């Protein structure tokens, strides 16, 4: 049975692929590239007839293929101009392998893959976990730990990413882009955590959450200052991450400045995705603090 929207996607991809690469605008190029990256990831993640992972979980070769596929998927998510789409979305091979690896990992991120594949393998697994997370506070804790590890091991991760790019022949995330993705998720889950505590009498979010969210917003501005997605996440982080009432107006102003910058960056981009998203949100990413209505 064909998935809803499959024919529309097929026609859209056919039109985009028909444009010569040198004539594609950045949005079309990103769309085609993200589909190609997901195809390459699916080709690495073999499944059995009952849709279970076919690659051995404990051999270096099997783990290398898995980490390479997760890296291609993470790159596709990062560059996609909107919602990530590809032909194998229903099968979700990366999801099948992710579930198996998480069951094998237990509570240890250090031994989730063989040493030659660490720390990159563990960070990519954490990044995928953030895509599937259901508890904002736990996801925020995991994202904070991942951000700290990515920063401290940036030179090692950079070498691993360069080696992966040479092996695959595909453009993959840089260490800075991987770190930015982790900061973005930290901001998303951090703001969700702060919002979940709003209005709960006698209860408040752990103090580190607001500080971590605000710090991630600062890092996003340094790592990806012209990305509408990063600027949007930074705007929410500044707005919700004000740690005290005296800092609220200043933080709200920074959030508003980031939101305006995000809209301008979206206007400059050929893809209308983020412009439409930001217009639809309006002022909603900014909380209604007293005195700021």
Instruction: Look at residue 268 and tell me whether its pLDDT is greater than 90.
Output: no
Beta bridge partners of 47: 53
DSSP state of 3: P
Distance CA 45, CA 53 (A): 7
Average pLDDT over residues 83-104: 87
Q: How confident is the model at residue 292 (pLDDT cuts 50, 70, 90)?
A: very low
Distance CA 251, CA 243 (A): 9
Average pLDDT over residues 116-129: 93
> 100: buried, middle or exposed (CB in 10 Å: 19+, 13-18, 0-12)?
middle
The pLDDT value recorded for residue 50 is 92
The pLDDT value recorded for residue 100 is 94
Local structure of 47: helix, strand or coil: strand
Choose the weakest-confidence range: 51-65, 66-80, 120-134.
120-134
Q: Residue 202 has which token pair?
A: 């006698």
Distance CA 223, CA 236 (A): 17
Distance CA 124, CA 68 (A): 10
Average pLDDT over residues 240-254: 70
Instruction: Look at residue 8 and tell me whether its pLDDT is greater than 50.
Output: yes
The 10s digit of each residue's pLDDT in 40-57 is 999 999 999 999 999 999
Q: How confident is the model at residue 76 (pLDDT cuts 50, 70, 90)?
A: very high
Q: 200: phi > 0 → left, psi -120 to 50 → alpha, else beta; which?
A: beta
Average pLDDT over residues 176-181: 94
The 10s digit of each residue's pLDDT in 20-36 is 999 988 888 888 999 99
């Amino acid at each position: 049975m064909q998935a809803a929207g499959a024919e529309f996607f097929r026609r859209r991809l056919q039109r985009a692929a028909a444009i010569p690469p040198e004539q594609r605008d950045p949005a079309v190029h990103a769309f085609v590239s993200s589909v190609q990256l997901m195809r390459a990831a699916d080709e690495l993640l073999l499944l059995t007839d009952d849709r279970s992972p076919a690659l051995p979980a404990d051999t270096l070769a099997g783990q290398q293929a898995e980490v390479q596929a997760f890296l291609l998927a993470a790159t596709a998510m990062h560059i996609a101009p909107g919602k990530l789409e590809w032909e194998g979305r229903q099968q979700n091979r990366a999801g099948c392998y992710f579930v198996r690896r998480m069951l094998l990992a237990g509570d240890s991120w250090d031994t989730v893959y063989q040493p030659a594949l660490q720390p990159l393998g563990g960070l990519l697994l954490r990044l995928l976990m953030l895509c599937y997370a259901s508890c904002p506070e736990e996801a925020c804790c995991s994202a904070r730990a991942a951000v700290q590890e990515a920063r401290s091991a940036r030179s090692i991760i950079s070498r691993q990413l360069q080696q992966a790019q040479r092996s695959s022949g595909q453009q993959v995330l840089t260490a800075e882009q991987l770190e930015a993705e982790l900061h973005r998720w930290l901001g998303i889950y951090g703001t969700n955590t702060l919002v979940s505590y709003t209005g709960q009498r006698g209860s408040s979010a752990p103090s580190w959450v607001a500080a971590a969210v605000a710090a991630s917003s600062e890092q996003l501005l340094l790592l990806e200052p012209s990305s509408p997605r990063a600027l949007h996440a930074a705007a929410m982080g500044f707005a919700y991450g004000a740690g005290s009432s005296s800092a609220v107006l200043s933080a709200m102003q920074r959030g508003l400045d980031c939101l305006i910058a995000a809209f301008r960056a979206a206007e400059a981009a050929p893809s209308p995705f983020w412009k439409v998203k930001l217009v639809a949100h309006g002022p909603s990413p900014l909380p209604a603090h007293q005195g700021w209505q």
